[in-house]
Structure 1
Amino acid sequence: MFRITKRFEFSASHVLSALPADHPCARLHGHNYVVEVELSAAELGETGFVRDYRELSVLKHYLDETFDHRHLNDVLGHDRVTAEVLAHHLFEWCAARFAETSAVRVSETPKTWAEYRP
């Protein structure tokens, strides 16, 4: 299996209101998010790629226009905007455009990652 990964970044805020009121993440806060999209294929295309990395620029545009410097609760329309939820949302978005999408990882801090992989 061949795998490629491309990394993207954006900054946004959110509130996790399902947490106890004394939890720091129950308050308005923000992150510098890192998103990694992974694409996989058993065979390479005639160009020798799983997919040309340039084709993934539409994801950068989507992140910049939809999420960057926004409040994620408003963007996704609910109060449970965790890294896991964001990874799933972005996986679905990517999979609708790139059949080779195999996983999406989202990081809120340099030490933490959430991944959605069907």
Structure 2
Amino acid sequence: MFELTVKSKFSAAHVLCGYPGDCANLHGHTWTVEVKVSGHSLNELGMLVDFKDIKKQLAAIVDQFDHRYLNDLPGFGEAGVNPTAENISYYIFQALAQRVGNIREGVRLKEVSVWESPDAYATYREDF
């Protein structure tokens, strides 16, 4: 099994509604998103997929978060979903999974990790 990892960053603010502490107040992070894709075979160039293809698809999703108030984005605040690292990783996974599958047959999105600080992150993956 081959695995490829790319990272991206965005800056955004959020509020954790109902949280019993400081995170219930407006605050922001420079978020890091780490995406892993996997597959069993390499292409004729010896690559699972081109890094730039994964980065392009990830950027299309992450750009909608950059310099935004996450609670205002569809799928979060009005839907009653707190924009936690866990929920953001799930959202990005759902948005990216099909895009990755369309890049090359046999390549799948393995997991998405979202870091809200250099030492705290959440990961979403679907076990197959």
Is the TM-score greater than 0.5?
Answer: yes
Q: What CA distance in whole angstroms lies between the structure 2 residues aligned with 1:50 and 1:15?
A: 38
Give the corresponding residue for 1:115. 123
Give the corresponding residue for 1:43. 41
* CA-atom RMSD in angstroms: 1.2
Question: Across the two proteins, how many residue pairs are aligned to each other?
Answer: 115
Give the corresponding residue for 1:12. 12
Shift of 1:70: 0.1
Give the corresponding residue for 1:104. 112
Q: TM-score of the superposition, structure 2-length normalised?
A: 0.84
Q: How does 1:76-87 map to 2 (within 5 A)?
A: 76-78=75-77, 79-87=81-89
Equivalent residue letter for 1:11: S
Shift of 1:54: 1.1
Equivalent residue letter for 1:71: Y
Q: What CA distance in whole angstroms lies between the structure 2 residues aligned with 1:112 and 1:13?
A: 16
Quick check: 1:91–1:104 contact (8 Å CA) kept in 2?
Answer: yes
Alpha-carbon displacement from aligned partner over 1:11-69 (angstroms, at most 9, x marks no partner): 0000001212xx010000000000001000011123321111111213213312x1100
Identity of aligned residues (%): 40
Gaps of 5+ in 1: none
Quick check: 2:76–2:82 contact (8 Å CA) kept in 1?
Answer: no
Give the corresponding residue for 2:69. 71
Q: What CA distance in whole angstroms lies between the structure 1 residues aligned with 2:4 and 2:58?
A: 15
Q: What CA distance in whole angstroms lies between the structure 2 residues aligned with 1:77 and 1:113?
A: 19
Gaps of 5+ in 2: 102-107
**Which consecutive aligned stretches of 4+ in structure 1 deviate over 6 angstroms post-superposition?**
none
Moved more, 43-52 or 9-18: 43-52
